[in-house]
Structure 1
Amino acid sequence: MAKIRHNNIIDTVDSVLSVSKKKGIIHLHAQDQTLNGQVLTLNGHQVLHFGTCGYLGLEHNPKLKEGSIDAIMRYGTQFPMSRTYISNPLYSELESMIRTMYNAPVVISKNCTLSHLTTIPSIIRSTDLVILDHQVHASIQEAVKKLLSQGVAVEMIRHNNLEMLEDRIKKQRNKYDKIWYMADGVYSMYGDFAPVKELIALAEKYEQLHLYVDDAHGMSWAGKHGTGYVMSQMPEGLYRKMILTANLGKAFGACGGLSLFPNEEWYNKVNNFGGPLTFSVQIEPATLGAAIASARIHLSDEIYEYQEELQHKIEYFNQLLKRTNLPLVHENNSPIFFIGTGSMDTGNYLVQELINDGIYVNLATFPAVPAKNIGIRITISLNNTLEQIETLVDKLQLHFKRALEETNQTDEKIRKAFKMAPLATSVEVKTPANPASSQLIVKKFDTIQNINAAVWNNYIGNDGMVDWNGMKFLEDSFRDNEEQENNWDFKYYVVEDAQGELVLLTSFVVALHKEDMFSQASVSKVIEKEREFNPYYLTSTGIFMGSLFTEGNHLYLNKNNAQWKEAFKLVMDELYRVQENTQASNIVLRDFDAEDKSMDEFMVDQGFVKIDMPESCVIENLNWTTEEEYVESLSRKNRRHYVQKIKRNEPFFDVKVKAQLATEELEHAITLFKNVKDNNFSLNNFLFPEKLFHLMNESKDWEFVVLYIKEEYSQNKLPVSVCFCHINSAQVYSPMLIGMDYDYLMEYGVYRQTLYQVIKRANALKCAKVNFGISASIEKKRVGATLYPKVGYYQAKDNYAMELIEATIAVEKE
């Protein structure tokens, strides 16, 4: 199987966060000598603190501080033993108090993440099914990933979509002992709630359905004894088929994770040997002392005074927001609020300006939210006064308006991104036209025939198969086909400045694609099994720079022109209009230089995330006339490879170059290509239409390098390899596709021999270079190709498909 370089999600996240870090928005250090929960000192000046998860301010409560100090004085700074042997004396007291609060057995872990890692693998069996809510916290998803390697089936549904959940239960209930739906009680970004009562009703309807709910952000500020939002929805106590996790940090004021069980059986399974619970260090005495002090408050009427006061401030903030046009994504009575900004650029600018003006809020960015749904998370706590909340709203309005103006964003775009109702026309927030953008002219075309061939070839086409004739060939090939995936809409964009100078030239296709196109091969293999019954599973319409057939440079951008960013933004605006009209799920801009830092920052600001693309492989040295000179151009290691793997096998082959294949031979060549397609999941796309191959056969721009095994070595008279090669107007040779007979692949080294024969052919034609494409880069490097790292920029309407693939399918080593 041909291997390619796959994207690493860690690198993608790093590229996004690095921009915000550079702008002084994340990875900050508070500079205070003491903290009170109201203000922080950042970069030398004070800011009001609207980013805490300590909603009740208990972390500064004197009773908790005294509890910590007393515990240290009595028990020291730590109790360095596994709980399997002996627990710190304070554990039993805290466990007893928590059990009283919830009227349920509890296991206490050092934090919520460890609670999930302790509980989930201990309770879930290989005969169970796990269904994740799309927005369930990352700590749960990480714990569930451990189950994948144990053969547990995992699925994902869209956020709070009970209809989708019930559909999956109906289809799967006879296959599994239990179906576990995992969700958050209060979601950490938008502050919305799980529909707890409806979930319980569904669990009563289907005995297989069980619930695993994390109420880390609902703890303390809601519920009897501060047991949280989820418990507030269950007046009769913890539901018989629910495991509930909660947090001793955040609003509770200490630190630790709780796992609460509806029966002693599940409790004992986790408590006896709960993975990390057994071998991880215990909670420190100081933290246990603070937690016990907090638990006393929770078991008294004092907690209700705190809850009532916080609700008053939350309601006041809601009232103030209603008087504004700020795009509040969810209105509710939780202490978490989310104001949408849409793009990273706008979010970064808004947070920066707020910090400079004395207000701290959290930037919510990818992957916590989709790259197109950036915003600011605001939290209200008891530490905030009503006057400070008024100041927050005033400054939010001021800087939000400025952020729109400075980043060329509009309220309309933001509301569309979050699927919010538009503002009434009378109060629409208008963003003045960017003077630089207004001097640019955007021309749009649906066919290459409306663009001058010389202009296109000079700026883009001379580089590879995407010359004017090549684009016309693609237009003819990918239209009027029976399969919907093989009918593409072509879009061309030309941007000129006021002087008529070309600033930008590019093309896109709107096409159905497989969401796992760039996933690991092992992932695509799993998904393809489902597609045997559901051919369009995990497929969607996308907008792609270039096409799904070509690789290489699809964009001319004059960065010497001061307006290049504005030109690019204008094209993006056009793409968003296309996206709205076609309901495309994502936009992919591809094959950019991996070292272009200015493009990185610009694209992240526009709400795109960087993804690694397969390397582009190019033979650039065709200035040799003999085989000896070619071999001499290779490295010492690659010369040895040539002798052992290529030269030794060359006598077995007859090689013919054909401008056209006979009908039967063309059909055989198509079959050979299908062989390769069926064996290569590293770049997973739809099978190209047969029309494509027939048009190749009729075109003067295409030829076929055909390899046969000589008669003395095989009775097979059919080709064992066919390479479909394009020659553009600038004499660039591009072997675009290959078909092979896998019965001969290993014994005769068919693939390596084909690569070599293609190079010989390009040399014979005195071509400028060979574009070898994007797969099997190691093999191509061995025959002399230079590898160029490439990146793409990806923006999705939501992260559902990406996160479903990542969370539910185990990656296997290839």
Structure 2
Amino acid sequence: MAKIKHTNTYDVVDHIFTAAKEKGIMHINSEEQSFNGEKFTIKGRELVNFGTCGYLGLEKHPKILAKSHELLDKYGSHFSISRTFIKAPYLEELENLVSRIFDNRPVIIYTSTSVAHQSIIGTIVESNDLIILDQQVHYSVQYPSQFAKLQGTMVKMIRHNNMEMLEDFIKRGYNQYNKIWYMADGVYSMYGDLPHKKELLYLLEKYPKLHLYFDDAHGVGWTGNKGCGTVFGSFKYNERVVLISTLAKGFGSIGGIAIFNDKEMYRKINIYGGVLAYTHPLSPANVGAAIGSAEILLSDEIDEYQNELKELIKYLNIKLAEFNLTNTSSEETPIYFIGTGSAKVTHNLIQKVLADGFYVNTATYPVVPNDKTGLRFTLTRHNTKKDIDQLVSSINKNFHLAVEEENEDLEKIYKVFNIPFKGKLIEKIIEEKNVFVEKYKSISEIEPCLWDRFFSDKGNYSYNGLKCIEEIFSNNDKVEENWSFHYVIIKDKDGNVVLATFFTGAIYKDDMLSHTNVSRQIEEERKHNPYYLCSQTLAMGCLFTEGTHLYIDAEHVLVNQALNSFFVEVEKIKNETNSKVVILRDFQSDFKFQQVFENEGYVRVSMPNTNIVSLPKWNTKDELLSFLSSKNSINNIKRYVFKYEDQYDISIKKTLTDAEAEKHYQLFTNIKKANYAFNFFSYPNKIAKILSQYEDWEFIEFRIKDSEELIGCIWHFVGKNHSCPLVVGLNYDYVKSHHLYKQVMYYMVKRGNDLGKSKTYLGITSDYEKQKYAAVSMPTFAYIRIQDTYNSEIINSYSNM
């Protein structure tokens, strides 16, 4: 099985967050010596707080502090024993008070909301149940749901708030599963929008197997009767509803809470509750603060506090509407999201707002798609109308400045977030007087010498190489085998090329670079739905090429203008091809324009290593071995390659008959079917036949001596100064018995040497085997922009199955 280096999601996020930290907009250290919720001190400056979630501003309420001190004095710093053995009396008091907020429903208090989810999902969801996650349900819900897969529970995900999709999943699984759990937020923490309660009540009544599981962490306290939140009032009479929330936001304390309509479910969790049985309770001081808060919520004070916040919400909504900002949030919640599109505008805007003295949050990939980033802020009772006036004024002024400074298209930003644009347009300026863009749909429209000047010895995408590729991937029956081709050449006024590249538009499997076990599971789904988790994709290069697809004259005085024009053209081609994903590849770690690409909203991800052999010319096997430094490699080659070489007949052909081309294709599909490490749609079955018609290609064939059976092949592109054995085909019956793959690998290297080529491009996968021949495995990167993260989130969910 071929192995490659896969993209690590955590590495991608690390890179994004580190870049934001370096710009001073994330992972900021506060410096204040005391905190009352109103302001942060950051780098010696006071910033008005529009970023925390203490919506009612209760953190330093005298009653809460007094109760916290009281329990601290009575019980000390900690009650160090699991509630399974002994439950502290103050914890019982808190649960009784919280129960009164929720119409005397049974309640369990946890150390955090995340622990609550782990406990409850792990206990009440069974192996014959189905979990359906909303796409934007909080990570603390998604995480334990993935672990439920380990016991056999099926987990699916719907697009955010898509009730039609939810009902479809319910119908399809209704006779297969015992219970169906739909898990959603009461208030979604990024966009501040709400679930469709009316539709969910309808589905709850229509389908008796349906159970609802809400995380209302951002709803409890600031709204609802006695602070019961956004969803309890609508669903409190149905036993098939579980509500989880937190004491850490509107409650002004810390800890998680679980509210049950089903008494037996409560009993089951309370008696054991998985992780609940193995965690210590909240500290006395924390519980005291929560008791003080619960007493406030049960008093008349809560109405006053809620009304004050809702008046501020109403006022803020009016101010935002006056400026027609890209606010995507619900008018009912204190969470706001101002869409800015690309990362460069987002970072610029937030830096300016911070400089004006207001702390706000950064919303970036992977929480939101990387072309739908934005500024997020929250509203609390600490804020005043004056604060609101100044914040909105700052956002409005700096939003337009950021768009202008980053040379972005203002109208496009509004379109991205589906918000009508009513203001004056600030169009993206491109100085076309200095650089000129040429676009073509076929390589035949370009002068061969012009193209080959930059790409003739980079891989198999020379002028003639691309003529061949265009013929292969056109006029086929299957949609995935037909690619559109787009060539972009940018010149200065004297005709000098500043930038050149080509793109293909095609349907890609979104799990192309996922781990083998993930793709194998997804392929099971594709037996019934062949385009499951696939997207129309615009990619630099294509799936039949590898190498440096982008030429940039980095020293040209107009290189920045050329790059601006390049990104404009990419956007046009993306729209023309209706692509949902854009991939710019392949780049090495020293790529000079990394920041430019990331500012345009692209996320850098790791690609498989590329392997290149550039040994001196060798004439004998001993001479080859003398160039290798690894004793293990030398011994391996002697033992598994040279020892079996005389059992093979090796032939090289420039052309194939139709029957031979068909046999070559069958050997290629053997590898394609066995290899999920690099998962893409198979090439058209005419491919070997077409390659045979082009003089740049040759075919190396492997047979056992005195046998006519073709058991291995290499499709080999021969460049002027390089060798590119691009495709391998194998009969797996001979891989172990005759070490066929090792023999093929040797001849990939040997043929380049025999032809006197300075480099042999061995491509991706099987790094270890290629390194035996002194191949240098070079890390490569791509820059990706995804319009919708739904497919990628589904793919990530497969990783724990």
TM range (shorter): over 0.9
Shift of 1:575: 1.9
2-side partners of 1:16 and 1:82: how far apart?
Answer: 40
User: What residue is the counterpart of 2:599 in the other structure?
Assistant: 605
Amino acid paired to 1:650: E
Q: How does 1:165-176 map to 2 (within 5 A)?
A: 165-176=166-177
User: What residue is the counterpart of 1:423 in the other structure?
Assistant: 421
User: What residue is the counterpart of 2:313 in the other structure?
Assistant: 314
User: What residue is the counterpart of 1:656 in the other structure?
Assistant: 651
- Runs (4+) off by over 6 Å: none
User: What residue is the counterpart of 1:678 in the other structure?
Assistant: 673
Output one character per residue of 1:182-234: Cα deviation in whole Å (capped at 9) or x when no partner: 11110001100011231121011011211111000111111111010112434
Amino acid paired to 1:719: L
Shift of 1:169: 1.0
Q: How does 1:258-337 map to 2 (within 5 A)?
A: 258-337=257-336
Shift of 1:508: 0.6
Output one character per residue of 1:490-516: Cα deviation in whole Å (capped at 9) or x when no partner: 111112234543221111100011111
Change (3 A) 1:658 1:622: farther
2:761 aligned to which of 771, 781, 788: 771
Aligned residues: 799
Contact 1:241 / 1:262 at 8 angstroms: preserved in 2?
Answer: yes
1-side partners of 2:557 and 2:330: how far apart?
Answer: 42
User: What residue is the counterpart of 1:617 in the other structure?
Assistant: 611
What secondary structure sits across from 2:570 in the alignment?
Answer: helix
User: What residue is the counterpart of 1:255 in the other structure?
Assistant: 254
Output one character per residue of 1:694-738: Cα deviation in whole Å (capped at 9) or x when no partner: 111111111111110113xxxx5211101111112x231111111
Q: Please tell me whether residue 637 in structure 1 is matched to residue 632 in structure 2.
A: yes
1:585 aligned to which of 576, 580, 585: 580
2-side partners of 1:786 and 1:74: how far apart?
Answer: 67
2-side partners of 1:796 and 1:85: how far apart?
Answer: 50
Q: Please tell me whether residue 722 in structure 1 is matched to residue 713 in structure 2.
A: yes
2-side partners of 1:429 and 1:456: how far apart?
Answer: 38
2-side partners of 1:559 and 1:123: how far apart?
Answer: 59
1:755 aligned to which of 742, 745, 761: 745
Contact 1:622 / 1:769 at 8 angstroms: preserved in 2?
Answer: no
Contact 1:131 / 1:180 at 8 angstroms: preserved in 2?
Answer: yes
User: What residue is the counterpart of 1:626 in the other structure?
Assistant: 620
2:734 aligned to which of 729, 733, 744: 744
Contact 2:658 / 2:689 at 8 angstroms: preserved in 1?
Answer: no
User: What residue is the counterpart of 2:191 in the other structure?
Assistant: 190
User: What residue is the counterpart of 1:134 in the other structure?
Assistant: 135
- RMSD value, Cα: 1.5
User: What residue is the counterpart of 2:11 in the other structure?
Assistant: 11
Amino acid paired to 1:778: Y
Q: Please tell me whether residue 412 in structure 1 is matched to residue 415 in structure 2.
A: no
What secondary structure sits across from 1:394 in the alignment?
Answer: helix
Change (3 A) 1:33 1:677: same
2-side partners of 1:195 and 1:31: how far apart?
Answer: 41
Amino acid paired to 1:248: L
Q: Which moved more, 1:306-315 or 1:550-559?
A: 550-559
User: What residue is the counterpart of 1:389 in the other structure?
Assistant: 388
User: TM-score under structure 2 normalisation?
Assistant: 0.98
What secondary structure sits across from 1:251 in the alignment?
Answer: coil
1-side partners of 2:530 and 2:429: how far apart?
Answer: 45
Contact 1:497 / 1:503 at 8 angstroms: preserved in 2?
Answer: yes
Shift of 1:432: 6.1
Change (3 A) 1:685 1:261: same
Shift of 1:442: 1.7
Shift of 1:809: 4.7
Shift of 1:625: 1.9
Contact 1:185 / 1:213 at 8 angstroms: preserved in 2?
Answer: yes
Change (3 A) 1:99 1:562: farther
1-side partners of 2:200 and 2:748: how far apart?
Answer: 61
1-side partners of 2:344 and 2:69: how far apart?
Answer: 45
Change (3 A) 1:249 1:563: farther
User: What residue is the counterpart of 1:443 in the other structure?
Assistant: 438
1-side partners of 2:23 and 2:449: how far apart?
Answer: 43
What secondary structure sits across from 1:84 in the alignment?
Answer: coil
Identity %: 38
User: TM-score under structure 1 normalisation?
Assistant: 0.96
Shift of 1:331: 4.0
Contact 1:514 / 1:540 at 8 angstroms: preserved in 2?
Answer: yes
Contact 2:748 / 2:762 at 8 angstroms: preserved in 1?
Answer: no
Output one character per residue of 1:107-133: Cα deviation in whole Å (capped at 9) or x when no partner: 211111111111101111110011111
Output one character per residue of 1:600-640: Cα deviation in whole Å (capped at 9) or x when no partner: 33322221111110000111114222211111111222111
2-side partners of 1:87 and 1:460: how far apart?
Answer: 73
Amino acid paired to 1:423: F
2-side partners of 1:790 and 1:280: how far apart?
Answer: 44
Contact 2:105 / 2:260 at 8 angstroms: preserved in 1?
Answer: yes
Output one character per residue of 1:449-498: Cα deviation in whole Å (capped at 9) or x when no partner: 22222222222232111111111111111111111001111111112234
Contact 1:481 / 1:487 at 8 angstroms: preserved in 2?
Answer: yes
User: What residue is the counterpart of 2:23 in the other structure?
Assistant: 23
Output one character per residue of 1:29-69: Cα deviation in whole Å (capped at 9) or x when no partner: 11111112121111111111111111110112121111211
1-side partners of 2:593 and 2:118: how far apart?
Answer: 39
User: What residue is the counterpart of 2:398 in the other structure?
Assistant: 399
1:787 aligned to which of 770, 773, 777: 777
Amino acid paired to 2:107: V
Shift of 1:810: 2.7
Shift of 1:641: 1.2
What secondary structure sits across from 1:60 in the alignment?
Answer: coil
Shift of 1:595: 4.1
2:491 aligned to which of 467, 491, 496: 496
Shift of 1:770: 0.9
Shift of 1:380: 0.9
1-side partners of 2:694 and 2:471: how far apart?
Answer: 12
What secondary structure sits across from 1:698 in the alignment?
Answer: coil
Q: Please tell me whether residue 201 in structure 1 is matched to residue 202 in structure 2.
A: yes
Amino acid paired to 2:713: V
Contact 2:409 / 2:428 at 8 angstroms: preserved in 1?
Answer: no
Amino acid paired to 1:422: P
User: What residue is the counterpart of 1:366 in the other structure?
Assistant: 365
User: What residue is the counterpart of 1:457 in the other structure?
Assistant: 452
Contact 1:541 / 1:586 at 8 angstroms: preserved in 2?
Answer: yes
User: What residue is the counterpart of 1:33 in the other structure?
Assistant: 33
Contact 2:220 / 2:227 at 8 angstroms: preserved in 1?
Answer: yes
Contact 2:518 / 2:798 at 8 angstroms: preserved in 1?
Answer: no
Amino acid paired to 2:229: G
1-side partners of 2:494 and 2:285: how far apart?
Answer: 70
User: What residue is the counterpart of 1:58 in the other structure?
Assistant: 58
Amino acid paired to 2:97: M
Contact 2:656 / 2:689 at 8 angstroms: preserved in 1?
Answer: no
Output one character per residue of 1:524-551: Cα deviation in whole Å (capped at 9) or x when no partner: 1111111111111111210001001111
